[in-house]
Structure 1
Amino acid sequence: MGSAEVSTETGARRHSRALARPRHRPRLRRYGLRQSLTAYGFLAPALTLFAIFGVYTVAYGFMLSFNRWNGLSPEWEWVGLQNFKDLFSADPVLAPQVRGAVGKTAIVMVALPVLVIAISLPIAVMLNSLTRLRATLRTLYFLPYVTAGVGVYYAWRFMYEPAGAINTLLDGIGLGGLVQPDGFLGSTSTALPATLAVLVWMTVPLGILLFLTGLQTIDDSLFEAARVEGASQWTIVRRLIWPLLAPITALLVVICLREALQNFQLFLLMTNGGPVDATNVLGLEVYRLAFGRGNNNLGLASALGWALFAVALALSLLNLRIMRDRTRS
């Protein structure tokens, strides 16, 4: 068989393949469309719920922040940016309350991440150095985070009472000068630190778990090399562990900022903002504007909620940017 015959036969085969391809394309398209419709059919219930309880709720709350509404009247009253002005400056009664809540929230925002990191990192380093009982201790440390919140709040409330466990313990060990006759939640000087201690106690287990997870991804040879060079444990933590755990630290700071800005159940159930608004944080102020101020105004509550969201988003982005730059350097 000559080369001309071979090339002719090869060209004929290619031509037949080219003619056959278009016949299969409609079938493949129909099969792909059927697969896509099946996938979207399975996703439809979740997407519908997300659209109703997510997108619609967010859009509804955003529009509500520019209106006045008590939750019962059939119509909204459009006020534009007046809600935001009243919250921070225009209203002579409401603005001081909000500014006071800003101050309390700022204290929690600074103290919570500092205390959580300062407590959880050493415990995580200690747990990582153990070879026995690590899983058991990790479970015990994590229990406060998964325990039902309402029960924990009331348990701490009982311990903070005038005849509670903490006053009894202080009096029993000879520290009667620290006993609070009105209870730790009944004094304006101790109410906020007492509630902050509970929030720290509940957040530290998450910090321990995150730091321990990060430590277990670090090669042990780095620690051994540092010890061979004569580095102390403090130097290893400061020079080696801390920089390597910067991304986890950034995540933990974001979580603590979210808790400080949005958590209101703790303050609602333990103090309801008292005494004399000593524990009235912004998250609780949103709830009180909507349901607990007498003249319920869901528009003001929504406006303050969106202001909190903007602050939380800005702080989170700033924190992530700082940690990213520090990691690169």
Structure 2
Amino acid sequence: MALPIRVPGRRRRGTRPAEAPWGYAFVAPAIVLFAVMGAYTIGYGFSLSFASWNGFQPHWRWVGLQNYADLLWASPHWAPIVHQAALNTLWVMLAVPVLTVVVSFPLAVMLNSVRRLRTLMRSVYFVPQVTAGIAVYFAWQYILQPDGAINLLLGSLGLGSLRQPQGFLGNPSTALPTLIVITVWSAVPVSMMLYLAGLQAVDPALVEAAQIDGAGPWRVTRHIIWPLVRPITAIIVLLSLRDSLQGFQMFLIMTNGGPGYHTNVLGLQTYRLAFLSQLDTTLGLSSALGWMLFVAALILAAVNLRVMRKAT
């Protein structure tokens, strides 16, 4: 009868090592912190979207789906404001990703082909990303004023017809396009670096083979480089859509949604309902609008994931 061979260091199934309680003890604070600051906060905010509350009363007044209905169609006051904010957000979501790709990809191709001063040029183009956002927004606000640098520059160049007496942020027809341009300006550095990393990973043999066959720079870029960096483009579009849908810091600082509601976006409207509204029952409306933005972001992420799978 053969004796069972016992391998040193192995434990029988069902037994736990003595270190397991210590591991649970070290992980427990993080789990408790997430449960309190994450799960509880999410559940609290979701419940608030079905209630009317001013933040000070001891009890909520449950209204069910009325907050969602008021934001979408029922309220003659809030529904038009939300519709205008949704339209502005849609314009931002359409323009920012396209312009970011159109600007950042050629810059990345140019930097990838430059041999001298590449590090210096890369640092110069990356400056908007490392500067403090609030300070930059105030600087742009000063430049775009009626007596700001842009109007003075247009006047000195003989383009006085393009000057804006109200300022570029005070004119309803130029305020939103101006903010879109600034958003693209701040988004280009990261997108350019992502493209540059992808370009440097392209096999040089593919480019050399195409050049030997007679392909010029345009054909090489269009038929070889661009398809290879398509997954990076999908990532850049997703990041731009996310920032366009939920971001509001620049709109709050530079225009606060004005003039009128011409630069009011959904993220800013959510903030205004929660903290800037003079009414005392808008916290529930703010929570409901925030949850609608969250659902929209999930849908965009799912669509983008599907597109990325097809691209790869």
Offset, 1:24: 7.5
* Range that drifts further, 93-102 or 229-238: 229-238
SS in 1 for 2:201: coil
Q: Within 1, Cα distance between the matches of 2:130 and 2:146?
A: 28
**Residue equivalent to 2:236:** 252
Q: Within 2, Cα distance between the matches of 1:50 and 1:214?
A: 35
Cα RMSD of the aligned pairs, angstroms, is 2.1
Offset, 1:106: 0.3
Which structure has the highest helix share of the two? 1
The AA in structure 1 aligned to 2:110 is M
Q: How many percent identity over aligned positions?
A: 52
Classify 1:83/1:28 alpha carbon distance in 2 versus 1 (closer, same or farther; 3 Å). Answer: closer
Q: Within 2, Cα distance between the matches of 1:169 and 1:33?
A: 74
Correspondence 1:318 to 2:308:
no
Q: Within 2, Cα distance between the matches of 1:212 and 1:114?
A: 18
Offset, 1:26: 7.2
Q: 5+ residue gaps in structure 2?
A: none
Classify 1:131/1:70 alpha carbon distance in 2 versus 1 (closer, same or farther; 3 Å). Answer: same
Offset, 1:275: 0.2
SS in 2 for 1:277: coil
Q: Within 2, Cα distance between the matches of 1:93 and 1:25?
A: 69
Q: How big is each residue's C-alpha offset from its partner over 1:9-43, in whole Å with a ceiling of 9 and x where there is no partner?
A: xx3xx24x46x98x97479945x241x33333333
Q: Within 2, Cα distance between the matches of 1:51 and 1:147?
A: 35
Q: Within 1, Cα distance between the matches of 2:25 and 2:146?
A: 59
Classify 1:180/1:248 alpha carbon distance in 2 versus 1 (closer, same or farther; 3 Å). Answer: same
TM-score by length of structure 2 reads 0.94
Correspondence 1:61 to 2:45:
yes
Q: How big is each residue's C-alpha offset from its partner over 1:73-130, in whole Å with a ceiling of 9 and x where there is no partner?
A: 1111111111110001000111000000011000000000000000000000111112
Q: Which residues of 2 match residues 217-236 of structure 1 at below 5 A?
A: 217-236=201-220
Offset, 1:134: 2.3
**Residue equivalent to 1:3:** none
Q: Within 1, Cα distance between the matches of 2:228 and 2:11?
A: 52
Q: Within 1, Cα distance between the matches of 2:25 and 2:119?
A: 42
The AA in structure 2 aligned to 1:71 is G
Q: Within 2, Cα distance between the matches of 1:323 and 1:29?
A: 44
Aligned length: 311
Offset, 1:301: 0.4
SS in 2 for 1:274: coil
The AA in structure 2 aligned to 1:144 is P
SS in 1 for 2:71: helix
**Residue equivalent to 1:299:** 284
The structure whose Rg is larger is: 1
**Residue equivalent to 1:83:** 67
* Range that drifts further, 155-164 or 238-247: 238-247
Q: 5+ residue gaps in structure 1?
A: 1-7
The AA in structure 2 aligned to 1:322 is V
TM-score by length of structure 1 reads 0.89
* Range that drifts further, 203-212 or 47-56: 47-56
Q: Within 2, Cα distance between the matches of 1:69 and 1:253?
A: 37
Q: Which residues of 2 match residues 115-154 of structure 1 at below 5 A?
A: 115-154=99-138
Classify 1:143/1:51 alpha carbon distance in 2 versus 1 (closer, same or farther; 3 Å). Answer: farther
Classify 1:24/1:321 alpha carbon distance in 2 versus 1 (closer, same or farther; 3 Å). Answer: closer
SS in 1 for 2:257: coil
Correspondence 1:114 to 2:98:
yes
